[in-house]
Amino acid sequence: MKRMIVAPSMLSADFSCLKKDIDLVNANADIIHLDIMDGVFVPNISYGTPVVKTICKFARIPVEAHLMIVEPQKFFADYKSYGVSSISVHYEACNHLDRTVNQIKELGMKAGVAINPHTGVGLLEDIVKVADYILVMSVNPGFGGQKYIPYSTKKIAELKKIINQNNPNCLIEVDGGVTVENIGEIARAGADIVVAGSAVFSAPDAAEAIRKLQSAV
Ligand code: DX5
Ligand code: ZN
């Protein structure tokens, strides 16, 4: 039976004991999700290269980087050398998105296209033919712990149709406000991967929270 791929966001991890939370994710989840923010594309700064490098060093499962930054291409080669296996860039941050997606793929990584809540999925009809996954932001990017925007579910379902028509191999990842309460509707709409920050790291039992999210079909 198909199960949900779960990618905990390290933005909500305990940075005073980062290794402990990396190990927890290694042992229980499918992907480690890194949120990179530059204070320009989004109104917040998260963490940068030294932290990415350290997390990659201790990762035992694939690491994906979600680049909420302008000029993301500056970092592709370095991230590849640290061991990052997939990178998503924002549709709204790239003037030459097709070129940028191909640059990620040429380095041997999976390429994702992230879209902000206001960006319509109809714009993705062509890029889904090239991208490995589309990351649907279900909150306005910049902060963990926000509430899921209800209209995201309809967007996921519409995107699923576009993907089925144009490139069924392209996956859908949903990021922002995902909880054990709303994972059912997100899964039914067509998501393959979910990112979860606070739902994992604020849960009394993080491993159990990951298992509950994974079992959504
Ligand atoms: C927001 C980030 C998300 C976020 C997820 O800009 O892209 O990955 O940290 O955190 P939660 O699950 O708490 O919304
Ligand atoms: Zn993210």
Ligand 1 atom closest to Cα of residue 9:
8
Looking at residue 27, what is its pLDDT? 98
pLDDT digits (tens, 9 = 90+) for 83-94: 999 999 999 999
Beta carbon of 88 within 6 Å of any ligand 1 atom: no
Q: Tell whether the model's pLDDT for residue 170 goes beyond 80.
A: yes
Q: Tell whether the model's pLDDT for residue 2 goes beyond 90.
A: no
Return all residues near 201 (Cβ < 8 A) that are at least 6 apart: 8, 12, 13, 14, 21
Q: Tell whether the model's pLDDT for residue 110 goes beyond 90.
A: yes
Beta carbon of 11 within 6 Å of any ligand 1 atom: yes
- Letter for the amino acid at 139? V
Looking at residue 128, what is its pLDDT? 98
Q: Tell whether the model's pLDDT for residue 189 goes beyond 80.
A: yes
pLDDT digits (tens, 9 = 90+) for 51-75: 999 999 999 999 999 999 999 999 9
> What is the set of active-site residues?
35, 175
Beta carbon of 145 within 6 Å of any ligand 1 atom: yes
Looking at residue 45, what is its pLDDT? 98
Ligand 1 atom closest to Cα of residue 66:
7
